[in-house]
Amino acid sequence: MQLVILNDYEQMSEFAAKFVRRRILDFNPSKDRYFTLGLPTGSTPLGMYKKLIDYCKNGQLSFQFVKTFNMDEYAGIPKNHPASYHSFMYHNFFRHIDIHPSNVHILDGNAADLNKECEEFEKEIHSAGGIMLFVGGVGSDGHVAFNEPGSSLASRTRVKTLAQETIVANSRFFNNDISQVPTQALTVGVGTLLDAHEILLLISGPLKAHALHNAVENGVSHMWTASAFQLHPKATFVCDEDATLELKVRTVRYFKGLLQSYLRIIEEPIEK
């Protein structure tokens, strides 16, 4: 596990975008060999998306041979609803890059059989060769996707009933009307995420400090979903200074000492 500590949200977002770009470029995808990328929603990855869009528009990166798989979607709201993750991804990312719509995979929260939809999503990931890189955000309670505290660390893509705290927190996307927030969502499982070849987790701000502490300094626990990625051989947490407020001084000092080597990795091609 690696922890990359940067000064602020802007630097964190730039690192994340360069990380994604470096992995795609090193993979050298083609029509016969697609790169598979797992993606999150929420406010945390917005800075990363903006920079990836810039790379694409400037000719520094192409998504022509990239297949994407999003982490989650609400159940029971239309795809064109302003709070749906279909809408979020389209407006904040997909419409600005050169990805073909057929290569975009987002769970359908309006499927006739939601359980079957989740099973088919797992099959699609498998058919694509698995996820090369899954990018995710971490919530203040340590959740990743809709894998809230108490989620099984072996869980697969499934229908999840949302906790009341999550419903209240997400009401800001529904005109602060709790009654409008879906009570269920479809989400990839922790086991699904752990199957990815590589994982990049973004954590920003003081409200996420307790989650980062539990994710990297305490043991693995189903009550802190993000802690499960201690078990992954290629997991990288990237955060800003504000998110480190609850980390031990020696933890911060140790990982900051490795920063230059991390920065070189995203700037230089991997030697074959």
Active site residues: 72, 141, 143, 148
What value, to the nearest 5°, has the Cα angle with vertex 171 and ends 165 and 174? 160
How many Å apart are CA 38 and CA 41, to the nearest integer?
11
Q: In a 10 Å sphere around its CB, with 0-12 CB exposed, 13-18 middle and 19+ buried, how is residue 79 labelled?
A: middle
How many Å apart are CA 141 and CA 262, to the nearest integer?
27
6 has which bridge partners?
Answer: 240
Strand order in the sheet with 133-137: 2-6, 235-240, 198-203, 133-137, 35-39, 66-70, 104-105
Largest distance between two CA atoms of the chain: 54
> What is the 3-class SS of 21-80, one letter each residue?
HHHHHHHCCECCECEEEEECCCCCCHHHHHHHHHHHHCCCCCCCCEEEEECEEECCCCCC
Structural tokens at position 109: 């929260």
Structural tokens at position 265: 């990795």
How many Å apart are CA 15 and CA 4, to the nearest integer?
9
**Phi, psi of 68, rounded to the nearest 5 degrees:** -110, 145
- What residue type is assigned to position 32 of the chain? D
DSSP of 184-207, one letter per residue? EEEE--HHHHHTSSEEEEEE-SGG
